[in-house]
Structure 1
């Protein structure tokens, strides 16, 4: 939906669109496809596997890039997808300046998105005739694919290394250690929770760009209200690793972080602090997850919980609260005099599998204060594995950092994004395509696929003709200090 069309929408128009999305008119073919998706999901078929991430990352690492990539669907079938090509001119950042040349990154669809995409096909003028010509097998392979590839570019940040380093030292060495949140997290992990003796690493998703966190909060808040949430979240990751490592008498655990939006200054500061950054194109981080992992994410722009639920049961999961299923309806809202359409799904929305997964975990409340963590909870697996050695060998750490070990890469992967919460909950609402989106307000730049503008990232996606499970419109999306 173009900005001009969005501006032209009246309150009645928005309510009509909300009603249409909540009660879509389905053809018999659509009803069959939705029943197929439900049956497949209920059978235990996985939307994501480690192997599919490893394969996709390997293809996206090739130079030159291949023209096509094979992507797996929930029904186990593979179908080639044409990789998008960067436009000859880099997208422009709102207010001026280039976003830089886009690169292909992995893009995710929620479980809920799959059925929504099926119901939107009739309203996609680019696919209206093509979908009807596909065989049932091809259509259902596309309709159950939870991964795609999009072009993403990241705007340069105005905050330099010296400023980032100064704020980092102030937060990590002074403000954070004295906070109530730091004390409470340390108390849970050091004393209250019965944790596995085999934990050997902390893998983080979506903790955000340090520089973007500073730039955005400097613009939005008075000095006394700035917490630089990306720095706080990385400081928390270091505390988690230190406390658990001390408890297991293995020293500090290695902290791995994935967020495609890290810039060179971010990377330098984090490396100096002993944090290892996960590269790749938005999928490599999940290859590090196993039963001996602590997973830490704060309001990521991809469905971390849903992916983790398909990959296994980490020892500890510190993430957005897993909530009971509620009424999931598109609704019209008003904010600051603007009316908009709000999606029922957040970017890290829960599913039947995430709810089932946490039944095997003890839940500890994450301290609530003004530091920007939002509705985070600490989930500790109920059946810690205690029979192995209490020390972590050098070889074990090397296994999770490399890309050649079969055990590590044979069944892993995923990417992330994260950063600065925009409201009390810290989440961005999300559209039917599976990408992050804000609310559709009167002045928001948002298209009918559910994507919207934010500051810091630009996304352009163009899918192959006949790719029924994805939108085929060209989009430019700006993200607010978050990556994928």
Structure 2
């Protein structure tokens, strides 16, 4: 294996250190970096890439969208967002960490779940597909209220190339491929949508802008990275 092959399995990522980590924990890195809010790290992607991708992810996403659009939850979300008078000011929806929807699950998941007769691959990516379908619904609602274009941006360093292609076909722009650039897109006319993101989302946004709406985990969930 040559030098090029070795480095092709590693990717740079931005790793964030939230407020609680800085004030409550003991240093586990060089002392010169301990009080930095973010650091550059390298992620070994060999095991992740070995899993491969789904053969029919695009079709599965279409089915997921259709099921979501017909659901009661989609209807209720549409009603709630349409009640907000300021939704007509939205110019962009910025999504963080909605997950890759093409990569197959790890082998240990395949083995354990297959014993129960589940469609393991489909169920593994379904949450991510659903979250992206929700983002598309929000974009449509904002567009329908004014007729203006609404940018739909998505940041997740875990996206496969296949996922990026599917998202772009469906109107997304993939940003911040190393886990940071998407935050620079947030402004006062944004909606921020994120579920289980591996970053102190609220702390970062508080220093950047005052979005019209933030949809994310509550403060009691993963409070060490709230």
Matches within 5 A, 1:49-448: 90=6, 101-117=9-25, 120-121=26-27, 142-154=33-45, 155-156=48-49, 157-160=51-54, 162-172=55-65, 174-190=66-82, 192-212=83-103, 215=105, 219=110, 220=113, 222-223=118-119, 226=123, 228-250=126-148, 253-323=150-220, 346=222, 349-350=225-226
CA contact (8 A) 1:290 1:314 kept: yes
Name the SS of the counterpart of 2:225 in structure 1: coil
Instruction: Provide structure 2 residue ranges, at least 5 long, that are not aligned to the other structure.
Output: none
Name the SS of the counterpart of 2:90 in structure 1: coil
Instruction: Provide structure 1 residue ranges, at least 5 long, that are not aligned to the other structure.
Output: 1-86, 92-99, 132-138, 324-344, 351-484
Note the alpha carbon deviations across 1:249-296, whole angstroms, 9 max, x for none: 325x22100111111111111111111111442110011000000110
CA contact (8 A) 2:88 2:145 kept: no
CA pair 180-274 structure 1, distance change in 2 beyond 3 A = same
CA pair 115-88 structure 1, distance change in 2 beyond 3 A = farther
Name the SS of the counterpart of 1:320 in structure 2: coil
CA contact (8 A) 2:153 2:175 kept: yes
How many correspondences in the alignment? 213
CA contact (8 A) 2:20 2:224 kept: no
> CA–CA distance in 2 between the matches of 1:175 and 1:182?
10
Kindly report the root-mean-square deviation, in angstroms, between the aligned alpha carbons of the 2 structures: 2.9
CA contact (8 A) 2:156 2:177 kept: no
> CA–CA distance in 2 between the matches of 1:207 and 1:348?
19
CA contact (8 A) 1:305 1:348 kept: no
**TM-score normalised to structure 2 length:** 0.82
Shift of 1:88: 8.5
> CA–CA distance in 1 between the matches of 2:223 and 2:42?
18
Shift of 1:200: 0.4
Higher fraction of helix: 2
CA pair 196-169 structure 1, distance change in 2 beyond 3 A = closer
CA contact (8 A) 2:93 2:151 kept: yes
> CA–CA distance in 1 between the matches of 2:137 and 2:187?
21
Note the alpha carbon deviations across 1:72-105, whole angstroms, 9 max, x for none: xxxxxxxxxxxxxxx98859xxxxxxxx521222
CA contact (8 A) 2:157 2:179 kept: yes
**TM-score normalised to structure 1 length:** 0.40
Shift of 1:300: 0.5
CA pair 144-206 structure 1, distance change in 2 beyond 3 A = same
Name the SS of the counterpart of 2:206 in structure 1: helix
